[in-house]
Chain A
């Protein structure tokens, strides 16, 4: 999926991060050096006396499937080089329906530790006590407009006809839900694949263990026989040479997929509760209307 990305500029003030400006990254194209572009951009902003400290980046997302490997990676790099940086996720679909959705995230210390170790085996993940829910922490966002913007907004709100802007009472839920269900299904499939992969790994390990066991047994018997003959026993360390441990499947991707499923599910349940409320509301209204007509 194509996503829009850009840099956030601002300052740390006391215990909060103020984001005052931003600019988009160019679309991927080979003729331009992205880094060069960013530096250029910041240099120019500095000249016009705008905040020019890089404090993070933003990315567009669809419904909430923003969680991905590249996102994790870039946020890790941001956070390790610029301590205070955040990633702001802007949900285009939801915003288009009238719900402005902006969310800011930071990686948790565990996630950073995990990345530092660059080891995604189940063991290490267990030791770090990290799961999909503890990859990110959400940072609350407070939006502040300049007084000028506020004035314009209030002016605009007067210009909007009364009927408009009630889209949030829209009862057509099916299409939204369908889309989300489809995406959810894809993710579940993917996670299932990962589970199967892990399962297969387990099977292999178990089989290897058994073989090892058998081999050791045989070796001890042999050694016993040799001992009766008075020969020196064969070493038992060969077992590690004979049976190479299987590579452990990486668990990062399943974790991300699980995180995505989590966000989808949250979205769906949120959407459903809202829709239900709307339906009850409408029902009440309808009943009242009918009662009025009957009277």
Chain B
């Protein structure tokens, strides 16, 4: 193996080659003199005492010693050459290239690579620096050897039409915990959680000195559908395990998941062989190129170099509040979407099952902000447990081990699961309002999946653990699609140059680019603003969730503008500044974070309707027109669904307004109306201007429809009218003793807002009638009419009036109402407002 050697940096340049001592074809040993050279140097001579010191230039003679053994192939310099710096010197044919080494030994010739002599310019160990086998870091290869191995691998995979798939363990395909409570539940068939935990697998692990946690039982829950998933994926992928757990742990899990070693074989890499304690890297396994590798992991931040190849899955959180038992080895989780989702979650929220089973999510999503009573309790436990493994950021393994130790011990001692179940039981026995709302969300009448989780018990205890995860089917779909795309591209490239049989690297598409393309289609043309999701002080653009949104092709902005298409609101904090701003802009769909989670999990732009936030009426009044415009724009695909969902949606709104919590509404509303006084003068978009943008044709249609149709259900309409207009009545009463003489700019504006608000429901119907008019759905139309009947009285009239440009009567009325209302409520609102603002403002 030919290798060129440099002269070395330690010589006294400039040097002059004076004589070759070995010639081409001579065998040389390490340390043998190969040539002689001369160099000039200055020397001080003379007697310093007599002041006769002077420097003279002298010539030094030296040998150049051979750094390796072999046969001289060629001298790269000539006698008489003057070298001013290190340069290529001699080519020596070595018997062994030492390109694969094990713990400082060449694996081919068995020589010690750590030997250093005076003649060696560079360490022999530098010839092989890449560790690329799964289970050993001491075995290293040279870049060349790595490339060769990788090309072999790629060729083989292409032949089998496979790709490489790197699979994470914790919270991706399994969830592990060591809380002994699980074992107790498993043995107790009467426990409500028995059904969920009965197929939890266990093993005992003793990896190193651990104190309390030594030899404790690990409880492993496989993600639902895992066995089938791996089975099917193994046809398309060669699979590797890459975990931050210890080797022993990883092997135990592999034994459970893949007892025959058919799926993963011995392709398991754990923390012990990873090389880095904080990050995973595909380069550890595929040092040359990662064109054919896909990763599935629940954390994106541990793959800093390989985001392109990553399919991020929703973390599997079966044992609530336990988290990742190996997370002490990773940087603190900043994946706030997941966290926010669980925070908002009583167990069966859409976040826990981001793939909407339509019936459930429809029922749940709008309610989730309304039922936080139970949800608030879990996060506290979660924090207690999660705070421990998190917060470790320095990569000192020792610290991490201690941390891990502590977290595990804590889990053993404190038994968070038991606590949570007790909490849940307590709530069951004490019938309180929050319980009833919780009841509503946990057991919707028709959700077969959840019924599975319940085991029938006499006194109906709620179960903490639910086995209703659906993520793997999504992942499977993504993987299959990616695989298909990849090989389509590959085939196309091959077909284009069929003469060349050799597989070259240009022929192989980059699966990362394929993934980028597929993901980039998902939220293309969306401009997304987040609120309440990224913690304060974190730049949304570099936050985990922000990066993810951008990788899905959406444009992420800090502030809502007219170009914004979606505002994603944390359901835990539904009324931030941004929400209010966005509510005024017509085209923004205001959705909760579950919509985003669903999009990211399913890789398609999920229909927003079930996720639309219940905007506070106070915020809504200014956005009334907005909703209509927006829904006109809705793409055709989601149209039927939107229609189907809208009646339900509307009935909720109607219900809210007529539910009798009028005073509540007014509290919020006044709060809102007073707030804008400072804002409105600078706000160019007044509600009236929005009227200009409105689709008058639609309204005409609606009016015609309304006039033409018989108002059959008078009583219904009446009651609805009373319900919907309850506030109005109240206002009327107030106006009687109110002072109606004042006319100011503020009140005029407010009046106009009021006007706009009064139209809210009417306008929503306008749009629906327009839509329904097209497909002439009799049932829908009837339903609409009923609702129209309720609001038509004022809605239709208002539209008519404002269309004429006058509407004096109405305006007067509103004026009176408003002034009176303001007067009456002002003082009592003052205090409340303070509180509200504090809690609601960002």
Q: Do A and B come from one complex?
A: no
- Residues of B participating in the A interface, judged by any CB pair closer than 8 Å: none
- Residues of A participating in the B interface, judged by any CB pair closer than 8 Å: none
